[in-house]
Chains A and B, each alone.
Chain A
Amino acid sequence: MENLLPTEDEVMLRDAARGFVDSAAPVTNLRANRDQNRPYDPALWAEMVNMGWAGVLIGEEDGGSDMGFAAANILAEEMGRTLAASPFIPTAVIAATALRQAGRHGALKAIASGEATYALAIDEGRKFAPETCALMAEVSGNGFTLTGRKVFVADGISAGRVLVLAKTEAGLTLFDIEADRAGLSREAQALVDSRDHAALTFDNVEATGDDVIGAPGAGMEVLTPALRAGQAAIAAEMLGLSSAAFAMTQSYLQERKQFGIHIGAFQALAHRAAHLWSEIEVTASTIAHAGRMLDSDPEHAALAVSLAKARASETSNLAVREGVQMHGGIGMTDEYDMGFYMKRARVAGEWLGDYGYHAAIVARARGMAA
């Protein structure tokens, strides 16, 4: 069994990331962005690029820092604490992992340098189910023509490029195209978390063989490891979100007085807080394990990643529900930050597979009868 505690390097990375996120991207930024209808913040991403976060999973030969998946999870977790919105997971985690699988050094260099950001166009219906892709890429001449629609595309408006999964005669195929290519239209989807999401319509979008990542028909071979990395990272983000929501609740229990005593002295609240803390601790173990598995044995990391995503979805949901309830009236107000945590937890829990999707992967890996 691997050691599930952070290494010295990881502790340093976490401290540095926390310091940066606290000062450069506090929750007040999210509030300001929402109020000004600005779902993303290119300046913040530029700073993250300067710190090497864009290249966390990119080899040094392509300008990355190659720190590994556990390190990527730490960065995602710290961003989750303040709900910092950035293209980190779609670009630096998912696209970088897919492009690295396919040996696309030019694209990797562009990510590491901050020149390129990516959105991931996978979903078509209300639930995550990449294998049931209906968007068609028909062979035309030496290339393909893409027609169909994708929804729930994170960073779909801000990203310069799109990784899109399409069905070809050979099977599912992953394409890498510019977001402004002819025939591709992007329509913002306002979701509860006030971030950049879009629906993408592909109307006879031309793609060449060069745009195919991996081989035609082998899209899932490239995409699956990338999705796993992304699922682990979003789970880590939800762990950070849960910890931060819990810390707010804990402080409130320590300060707020009712009936002449601190409300944290009431067992009805204290025991619920202790239970919530325990659940967060248990989930933290699954995040650590997923990072270690992705770094040491990525071929066999499916169970670990789905375990982490399932637990993180459930725990973050509990953390924000308890957060609102224990804060009482102010927890329900827009003026208070807890609501932002609740909204983001719901979106993150759904993205890249919800609890049921991942619990089923765990159960199948554990020998569940069909």
Chain B
Amino acid sequence: MDGEQGHLDAFRAEIAAWIDQNAPTSLRQRAFTEEDICWGGRNWQFKSEDQKRWLELCAARGLTAPRWAKDYGGAGLSRAEEKIFLEEMDRLQVKRPLESFGLWMLGPALLAFGTEEQKRHYLPQITRGEIRWCQGYSEPGAGSDLASVQTYGEDRGDHWVVNGQKIWTSYANKADWIFALVRTDRDAPKHLGISFLLIDMNTPGVTTRPIKLISGASPFCETFFDNVVVPKTQIVGELNRGWDVAKHLLTHEREMIGGGAGALGSRSISSILADEDMMADPVIRSRAMKLDVDTLAMDLTLERYKDLAKQGGLGHASAMLKYMGTELNKDRYELLMAAGGSDALAWEGEFGSLASEWLRTKANSIEGGTSEVMLDILSKRVLELPSK
């Protein structure tokens, strides 16, 4: 144990010194918005030279995906080492070099289901921020009922020809590739005729159209597939077993949204607690006190569930984090708006204002599975309540 602790202490000292020496000063303010995130990709316009340099430096050390193997562009860190790395990043107030659906979702799915060739090909492109991925799950007729996908891939020997439409594809208009659920067997039961395909957005026949939300932002798109040719090498997992991959990946997504990944929309209500004027209103006062208690309790629960995950996975219980985290976030923003009064109503477009963040939180309990779907998962899978 001493040996291991000694190693971790040495690692902490080394990585902290490296971050301190290499992280550009301009990326070290604490306050940042959705606009400051580096998503990478073929068409990415770096916001600054510093943003580009920080990504390159981290990618060279594998630190954009700390726990992935070095062969796949990661740093090969243990969980304990990764935790230390992230703690030191927080302590030194350094922004993450790269955020992406490739890191959060496709990567873990490829690590679990991909072939060695796929891992070696796709993962390093993700860690270097060269390819930006989006997720093609929902369809106009398949919202919460995700498995009823109609987008169809017709077997043409060495490739499929894909036709159909996806909706709520996050950042599809900015992404380079999409991982999509495509029906490859119309006769099989609905969960058993779906394949998980990787599709280059540059393939002829792929088009996207952004959807503007009430917050003013357009994080989601409609994505259309019109006779899109997809080589058979671009399937992850087995033919018609794409639902297994999707389920695995949804678990990651839920943990991410519930955990407030990327620190989006996580304004604290301590600003209300500290404001004598706002706290003079007894209704605001009691709501602020209660929400602060609940937020602290939720933060501890995220920590506890991280520890649980290390012990062998959360499984369906991750739906609890998604449900409680997003509902709490909505409550918090309602209170921030109420406490802010008419000041909080200012409209500055899609970024930066409290009002746009407030409206954005409304999507949190819908995207990635609605709160009601989460409660269904918990009641059926965790609590084993009967279905009839």
Binding site for B on A (CB under 8 A): 1, 3-5, 250, 253-254, 261-262, 264-265, 267, 270-271, 273-275, 277-279, 281-286, 288-289, 303, 307, 310-311, 359-360, 362-363, 366-370
A57 to B212: give the CA distance in the assembly, Å: 60
| Inter-chain contact B296/A273, CB cutoff 8 Å | no
| Inter-chain contact A271/B293, CB cutoff 8 Å | no
The interface size bin for chain B is 35 or more
| Inter-chain contact B273/A4, CB cutoff 8 Å | no
| Inter-chain contact B292/A362, CB cutoff 8 Å | yes
| Inter-chain contact B300/A265, CB cutoff 8 Å | no
A30 to B304: give the CA distance in the assembly, Å: 34
Q: Does B5 contact A (CB under 8 A)?
A: no
Q: Which of A264, A279, A366, A370 contacts B270 (CB 8 A)?
A: A366
Q: Assess A273 versus B303: contact at CB under 8 Å? Given A5-B311, A368-B289.
A: no
A264 to B289: give the CA distance in the assembly, Å: 34
A270 to B387: give the CA distance in the assembly, Å: 10
| Inter-chain contact A277/B297, CB cutoff 8 Å | no
| Inter-chain contact B379/A273, CB cutoff 8 Å | yes
| Inter-chain contact B289/A363, CB cutoff 8 Å | yes
Binding site for A on B (CB under 8 A): 270, 273-276, 279, 288-290, 292-294, 296-298, 300-301, 303-304, 307-308, 311, 317, 320, 323-324, 372, 374-376, 378-380, 382-388
Find chain A residues with CB under 8 A from B296 CB: 286, 303, 307, 362, 366
A362 to B269: give the CA distance in the assembly, Å: 13
Q: Which of A254, A264, A265, A370 contacts B276 (CB 8 A)?
A: A370
What are the 8 tightest A-B residue pairs by CB atom distance, in nearest-first order? A264-B385, A270-B379, A274-B378, A262-B386, A369-B276, A4-B304, A285-B300, A285-B301
| Inter-chain contact B304/A311, CB cutoff 8 Å | no
| Inter-chain contact B386/A286, CB cutoff 8 Å | no
| Inter-chain contact B324/A278, CB cutoff 8 Å | yes
A368 to B289: give the CA distance in the assembly, Å: 9
The chain A residue sitting closest to B288, CB to CB, is A363
**Interface Cβ pair total, 8 Å cutoff:** 126
A288 to B294: give the CA distance in the assembly, Å: 15
Q: Assess A311 versus B311: contact at CB under 8 Å? Given A273-B383, A282-B324.
A: no
| Inter-chain contact B387/A265, CB cutoff 8 Å | yes
Find chain A residues with CB under 8 A from B307 CB: 3-5
| Inter-chain contact B385/A367, CB cutoff 8 Å | no
19 contacts across the A-B interface (CB closer than 8 A)? A5-B307, A253-B383, A264-B379, A267-B372, A267-B375, A270-B379, A271-B376, A273-B379, A273-B385, A278-B320, A278-B378, A284-B304, A289-B300, A359-B293, A360-B289, A362-B292, A362-B293, A362-B296, A369-B279
The chain B residue sitting closest to A246, CB to CB, is B383
Q: Assess A270 versus B293: contact at CB under 8 Å? Given A277-B382, A286-B300, A369-B273.
A: no
The chain A residue sitting closest to B324, CB to CB, is A278
Which of A1, A261, A288, A311 counts the most B-chain CB atoms under 10 A from its CB?
Answer: A1
Find chain B residues with CB under 8 A from A265 CB: 385-388
| Inter-chain contact B376/A267, CB cutoff 8 Å | yes
Which of A281, A286, A367 counts the most B-chain CB atoms under 10 A from its CB?
Answer: A281
Kindly provide the distance from the CB of B166 to the nearest chain A CB, expressed in whole angstroms. Answer: 28
Find chain B residues with CB under 8 A from A262 CB: 385-386, 388
Q: Which of A270, A282, A363, A369 contacts B385 (CB 8 A)?
A: A270
| Inter-chain contact A288/B379, CB cutoff 8 Å | no
The chain A residue sitting closest to B276, CB to CB, is A369
Kindly provide the distance from the CB of B357 to the nearest chain A CB, expressed in whole angstroms. Answer: 21
The chain A residue sitting closest to B296, CB to CB, is A307
Q: Assess A1 versus B303: contact at CB under 8 Å? Given A274-B378, A277-B378, A307-B293.
A: yes
